[in-house]
Amino acid sequence: MFLIYHQIIDNNGSFNAFFGIIAKSSDLNNIKMKSSLETVPVLISKRINEKNSGDIFFINEFSGFNDEYVGRILSQAVAMGKIVRIANGIYYKPVMSKFGIVYPSTEKLIKTIMERDNASILPSGATALNRLGLSTQVPMNPVFLTNGSARVISLGNKKITLKRAVQKNFMFEGKLMPVLVQALKSLGESNITSKEEGDIQAVISRYPDELDDIRKGLPYVPNWMRKLLNNIIKKYSI
């Protein structure tokens, strides 16, 4: 076992800390360094300081270092309030106001994860209904489907859940059809009245360029959903 104890001080006084890290010899062998072992906390803290407030970043962005070892150093930064751990392996450099931490929007978070994981993410259930304007209720803890990693992300008191889903949920083309299918699943066949049908028609009318994408997806949805959407889109001419 090795004890690494290092003080970090820069000219701006940012990220000043003492790092007391117990590292196994196997950890040390996995760390690639340009200089001595004692510079590791300095290099990692420098990368954190270079990030902008409001940035979301991932533990494996610190290439060249063992993830477990980096995690220990990031935990020190979390304890100091310099960064916030919002999920396993995901961190946030906070924007601060007089009221405390200003967390990123759900949209920014989802976009960041999609780009980083090269994954598809869809709003599900009440989240999908609200996104399309079919419900005015804003879910306090939104739920999304993904073909990437399942996660629960904490943004203050709000929990964002990413559920791993089968690929058929992501087979629909366009921006509207994938979300519309999830919204209709949440509504359910028994809850579709003339009012709901009118609301769905109003949603579709906002996406006139996606009627073809809706038609292409009809063979892959339940019969009741196919009939409903057929009745709506046949009112439009292309």
| SS3 (DSSP) at 43 | helix
Show me where the domains of the chain are located.
Answer: 2-97, 105-168, 170-233
Question: Which of the four pLDDT bands, split at 50, 70 and 90, describes residue 134?
Answer: very high
Q: What is the pLDDT of residues 168-209, one digit of tens each?
A: 999 999 999 999 999 999 999 999 999 999 999 999 999 999
Question: Rounded distance, CA 187 to CA 125, Å?
Answer: 8
**CB within 8 Å of 167: residues ≥ 6 apart:** 147
Report the predicted TM-score, pTM, of the whole model to 2 decimal places: 0.78
Sign, CA torsion 166/168/173/177: negative
Q: Which CATH class is domain 2-97?
A: mainly alpha
What residue spans of the chain are helical by DSSP H?
Answer: 25-30, 40-50, 67-79, 106-117, 126-131, 176-187, 194-205, 211-217, 223-233
pLDDT tens digit string along 79-103? 999 999 999 999 999 999 999 999 9
